[in-house]
């Protein structure tokens, strides 16, 4: 059947892709809409998507593209700080970590979350985000370096 | 870099676990799928083929329809379309939180760079455009997120117009651009021209289902950039609009287009873009319709900054980096 195994894929991956998008976008509501939209597109193209090396990476990228396309237009008109209004405060260490992650530019956060939260390899991340492997490596390196630097400043 | 230190992995995972879990449902996914399928059927196979071919634009000159609600205050004076320098509206006061009050800083007087400030109150603005003379047109989202209103204010902050836009089945609406007499509102997958004075609306074009990154529309000329990896630009001009497509010249190594602006005479386009091979923002001026490079300049901006563009005259482009507030110029 055309949509065989889609439901199983959805149930196995939707939460982690959602969390990866929430961390990348710093907006939980937008992340939920983005993952819903991307999952709907995955369902529409399931015969093709299911054959990919990383369907979850594909969903992440589609969700990220959808969110940043829509978000950029809206974001232009919003004051700084509106991004993370929907994320709960959490304990002190998680607040410090979240603020440190917020320092990273979105392209670096996307690479970091793909590598860590979606468990994608460098090659899979490059494929999922439409980058070459060198760019993935440099963004990861710079992102982690900036993250460590931001953490040490806060300590 | 292939190996990620354990402490960094743990930190990122902790942040992810602290975020609220997914609260959606499979039913919502299926509902979106069905809606997409219906929309695609409505748009039609011809448009889809045009889009795949890179054209993707169609102009609709059907009779006008009127907004369901009249304006509480109507702008009765119709000003002639002045060929003044374009304006830039800049938001980004870091002291403001929560999206309740938005302060717009409008750069109006070219080339003196006189900055005029005014305050605008709104819940959430889905697009705002500054007009010559200090007026601002915006689309404001209602508190429930299901209604949208067109708002026009002057430089003193006085509301000149507030008119609820026709509902669009809960789909987001966004103001893409505006001129002295018309606001161009994105509704679902079509661009609608909304007459500021009368509230009448006219469908202008439909663009399949491709997400739009940047758009400019003025005096019957249209430029659209999608999210395609080759930074494809779609242009249209004339009546009826003749659609054509061009890719950013490959030597620019464009990774994504972030903003664009047509020159007042329509003979050139300014494109703000990010390089595909490094974190760098640049601005290119291209002639039309050939899309040859007239000028290309690096912008001092981080990857998180936004670059906004406006032409001072037909050969001089000015831009601002937000939120840094630094200005730059490019000439050809």
Q: pLDDT digits over B90-139, tens only?
A: 443 332 222 223 333 444 433 344 344 444 555 455 667 767 666 778 77
The predicted structure's pLDDT at residue B183: 87
Task: For domain A6-154, give its CATH number from 3.40.50.2300, 2.120.10.90, 2.70.98.30, 1.20.140.160.
Answer: 1.20.140.160
Residues of A in contact with B92 (CB under 8 A): 79-80
Which of A39, A107, A144 lies nearest to residue B8, judging by beta carbons? Answer: A144
Over residues A120-130, the mean pLDDT reads: 86
Over residues B17-38, the mean pLDDT reads: 82
Query: pTM for the whole thing?
Result: 0.47
Whether residue A135 lies within 8 A of chain B, CB to CB, comes out as yes
Whether residue A100 lies within 8 A of chain B, CB to CB, comes out as yes
Q: pLDDT digits over B33-49, tens only?
A: 887 776 555 433 333 33
Please say if the pLDDT value at position A111 is more than 70. yes
The predicted structure's pLDDT at residue B1: 60
Tell me what the pLDDT averaged over chain B comes to: 67
B4 and A90 in contact by Cβ < 8 A?
A: no
Q: B330 pairs with which residues across the strands?
A: B317
If one counts every other C-beta atom within 10 angstroms of the C-beta of residue B157, the result is: 14
Whether residue B143 lies within 8 A of chain A, CB to CB, comes out as no
A137 phi/psi in degrees, rounded to 5: -65, -45
SS (H, E, C) B272-315: EEEECCCCCEEEEEEECCCCCEEEEEEECCCCCCEEEEEECCCC
Please say if the pLDDT value at position B10 is more than 80. yes
Over residues B292-311, the mean pLDDT reads: 85
- Contact at 8 Å (CB) between B280 and B298? yes
Tokens of B325: 């507030």
Which residue on chain A is closest to B278 by alpha carbon?
A: A135
The predicted structure's pLDDT at residue B155: 65
The predicted structure's pLDDT at residue A33: 86
Distance from B25 to chain A by nearest Cα, in Å? 8
Tokens of B163: 């008119």
Of B186-190, B224-228, B296-300, the range with the highest mean pLDDT is: B296-300
Whether residue B327 lies within 8 A of chain A, CB to CB, comes out as no
B16 and A144 in contact by Cβ < 8 A?
A: no
Residues of B in contact with A141 (CB under 8 A): 1
Structure confidence at residue B66 as a pLDDT band (50, 70, 90)? very low
């Amino acid at each position: 059947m055309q949509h065989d195994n889609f439901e199983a894929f959805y149930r196995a991956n939707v939460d982690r892709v959602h969390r990866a998008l929430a961390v990348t976008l710093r907006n939980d509501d937008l992340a939920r809409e983005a993952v819903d939209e991307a999952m709907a597109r995955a369902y529409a193209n399931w015969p093709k998507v299911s054959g990919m090396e990383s369907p979850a990476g594909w969903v992440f990228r589609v969700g990220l593209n959808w969110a940043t396309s829509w978000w950029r237009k809206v974001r232009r008109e919003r004051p700084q700080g509106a991004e993370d209004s929907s994320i709960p405060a959490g304990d002190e260490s998680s607040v410090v970590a979240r603020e440190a992650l917020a320092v990273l530019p979105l392209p670096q956060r996307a690479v970091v979350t793909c590598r860590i939260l979606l468990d994608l390899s460098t090659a899979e991340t490059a494929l999922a985000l439409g980058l070459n492997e060198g760019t993935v490596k440099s963004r990861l390196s710079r992102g982690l370096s900036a993250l460590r630097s931001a953490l040490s400043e806060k300590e | 870099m292939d190996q990620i230190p354990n402490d960094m992995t743990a930190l990122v995972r902790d942040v992810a676990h602290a975020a609220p879990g997914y609260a959606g449902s499979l039913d919502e996914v299926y509902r979106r799928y069905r809606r997409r399928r219906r929309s695609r059927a409505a748009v039609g196979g011809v448009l889809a083929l045009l889009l795949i071919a890179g054209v993707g634009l169609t102009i609709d000159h059907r009779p006008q329809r009127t907004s369901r609600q009249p304006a509480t205050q109507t702008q009765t004076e119709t000003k002639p379309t002045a060929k003044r320098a374009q304006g830039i509206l800049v938001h980004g006061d870091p002291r403001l939180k929560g999206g309740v009050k938005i302060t717009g800083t409008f750069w109006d007087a070219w080339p003196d760079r006189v900055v005029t400030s005014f305050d605008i109150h709104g819940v959430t603005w889905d697009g705002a455009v500054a007009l010559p003379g200090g007026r601002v047109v915006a689309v404001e989202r209602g508190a429930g997120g299901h209604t949208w209103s067109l708002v026009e204010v002057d430089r003193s902050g006085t509301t000149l117009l507030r008119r609820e836009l026709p509902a669009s089945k809960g789909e987001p609406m966004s103001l893409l651009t505006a001129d002295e007499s018309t606001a161009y509102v994105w509704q679902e997958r079509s661009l609608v021209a909304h007459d500021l004075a009368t509230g009448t609306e006219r469908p202008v074009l439909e663009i399949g289902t491709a997400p739009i990154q940047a758009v400019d529309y003025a005096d019957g000329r249209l430029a659209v950039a999608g999210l395609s990896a080759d930074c494809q630009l779609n242009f249209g001009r004339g009546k009826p609009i003749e659609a054509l497509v061009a890719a950013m010249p490959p030597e620019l190594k464009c990774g994504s287009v972030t903003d664009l602006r047509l020159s007042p005479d329509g003979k050139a386009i300014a494109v703000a873009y990010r390089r595909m091979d490094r974190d760098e923002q640049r601005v290119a001026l291209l002639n039309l319709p050939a899309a040859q490079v007239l000028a290309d300049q690096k912008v001092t901006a981080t990857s998180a900054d936004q670059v906004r563009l406006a032409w001072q005259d037909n050969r001089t482009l000015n831009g601002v980096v937000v939120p840094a507030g630094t200005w730059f110029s490019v000439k050809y």
